[in-house]
C-alpha cells in the first residue's frame, strides 16, 4: 500500500504550483478530494483518492515534461553563484528537474524541462543526431556561397560542421538546422563567414516545435502527442 502524502506535496509534484499558491487555491475552494471540497491541508492516498483542482482531475505521472520559451538573460543551469538561471523563473523544483541541453545566456527559445534522465540522455546522445532548428539574425548580408550551398564549415582544427541546413529568409535573417550541440556552434559557424549573430532563437528540437502561442518566459506541460513526437526519430 502506498504511503499517504500531504495533499500540497501531491499537487506540487504534479503541477508547477508553489505551496503558497496551493494554499490560495484551498481558500478559493478550488480543491476536491473524492468529490468533496476540502478546507484544510490533509493527507491523501495517491493510489485511491481522486484529487481535483479547479474542476480538473489530477493524475500522477512519474515523469513530467514541459515546454519552456526561454528569454535572454538567463543561463541554462539549475544553480549559479553569479548569474540568474532559468530555474529562477520556471516555478519548478531545481533539485528534481533539468533542461534537455542548453541555450546560451543571450539565446531565446525552446527548452524541454523534465525529470526523465533516460530520455534526456537518448535525445542528447551525439549518435542520434537530433536536429535543432534556429531562427538567426546577423549583422551583414547573407551572401556566403558556403552557407547557401550547405558546404562544410571548418570551425577549428578539431571540428568541422559537415551536416546542417541553411534556409535564407532575407538578406540578414535565416533558419539554420544543426545536428550537433557544440559550444556556441551556431555563432561560430556564422563567424567563419564574416557575420556576427545579433539574435538567436531555437524554434525546434527534434520534431517538437516551439508553440507560437507560448509567450517568452512562459512554461507549459507537453501534451501526450508532443511527448510521442519528441521521442520519434
**Same domain? 82 vs 51:** no
Q: What's the domain count of the chain? A: 3
Q: With 80 as the cut, is the pLDDT of residue 61 above it?
A: no
Whether residues 96 and 74 share a domain: the answer is yes
Q: Which of 90-99, 119-128, 188-197 has the highest mean pLDDT?
A: 188-197
What is the distance between the alpha carbons of residues 172 and 199, in angstroms, rounded to a whole number?
A: 11
pLDDT band of 1, cuts 50, 70, 90: very low
Domain check: are 75 and 175 in the same one?
no
Spatial contact of 120 and 64, defined as CB atoms under 8 Å apart: no
Of 14, 22, 2, the residue nearest 59 (C-alpha): 14
Whole domain around residue 17: which residue ranges?
A: 5-57
Is residue 44's pLDDT more than 50?
yes
Same domain, 189 and 88: no
pLDDT value at residue 193: 94
Q: For residues 178-187, give the mean pLDDT.
A: 90
Of 57, 76, 98, which residue sits at a domain end? 57
Q: How confident is the model at residue 28 (pLDDT cuts 50, 70, 90)?
A: very high
Q: Based on the domain organization, do 10 and 99 belong to the same domain?
A: no
Residues 120 and 216 in one domain: yes
**Is 135 found in the same domain as 190?**
yes
Q: Write the CATH number for 155.
A: 3.30.70.1560
Q: Are 211 and 201 found together in one domain?
A: no
Both 51 and 155 in one domain: the answer is no
Annotated catalytic residue: which of 13, 49, 104, 106? 104
Domain boundary among 39, 57, 75: 57
The answer for 186, left when phi > 0, alpha when psi is -120 to 50, beta otherwise, is alpha
CATH number of residue 50's parent domain: 3.10.290.10
139 is annotated as an active-site residue: no
DSSP state of 15: S
159 and 198 together in one domain: yes
Look at residue 124 in the predicted model and tell me its pLDDT.
85
Q: What global pTM score does this model have?
A: 0.81
Are both 35 and 77 inside the same structural domain? Answer: no
- What count of residues does the chain have? 233
Q: 38 Cβ partners below 8 Å, 6+ apart?
A: 7, 26, 31, 32
| Same-domain check for residues 106 and 215 | yes
Amino acid at each position: 500500500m502506498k504511503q499517504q502524502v500531504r495533499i500540497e506535496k501531491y499537487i506540487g509534484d504534479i503541477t508547477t504550483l508553489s505551496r503558497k499558491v496551493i494554499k490560495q487555491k484551498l481558500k478559493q475552494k478550488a480543491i476536491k478530494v473524492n468529490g468533496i471540497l476540502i478546507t484544510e491541508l490533509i493527507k491523501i492516498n495517491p493510489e485511491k483518492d481522486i484529487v481535483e483542482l479547479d474542476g480538473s482531475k489530477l493524475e500522477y505521472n512519474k515523469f513530467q515534461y514541459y515546454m519552456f520559451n526561454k528569454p535572454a538573460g538567463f543561463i541554462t543551469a539549475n544553480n549559479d553563484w553569479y548569474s540568474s538561471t532559468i530555474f529562477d523563473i520556471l516555478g519548478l523544483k531545481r533539485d528534481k528537474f533539468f533542461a534537455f541541453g542548453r541555450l546560451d545566456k543571450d539565446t531565446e527559445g525552446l527548452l524541454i524541462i523534465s525529470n526523465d534522465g533516460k530520455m534526456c540522455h537518448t535525445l542528447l546522445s551525439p549518435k542520434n543526431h537530433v536536429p535543432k532548428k534556429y531562427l538567426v539574425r546577423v549583422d551583414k548580408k547573407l551572401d556566403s556561397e558556403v552557407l547557401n550551398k550547405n558546404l562544410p564549415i571548418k570551425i577549428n582544427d578539431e571540428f568541422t560542421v559537415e551536416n546542417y541546413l541553411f534556409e535564407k529568409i532575407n538578406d540578414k535573417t535565416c533558419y539554420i538546422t544543426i545536428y550537433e550541440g557544440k559550444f556556441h556552434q551556431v555563432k561560430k559557424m556564422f563567424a567563419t563567414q564574416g557575420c556576427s549573430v545579433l539574435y538567436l532563437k531555437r524554434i525546434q528540437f527534434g520534431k517538437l516545435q516551439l508553440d507560437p502561442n507560448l509567450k517568452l518566459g512562459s512554461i507549459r506541460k507537453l501534451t501526450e502527442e508532443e511527448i510521442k513526437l519528441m521521442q520519434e526519430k
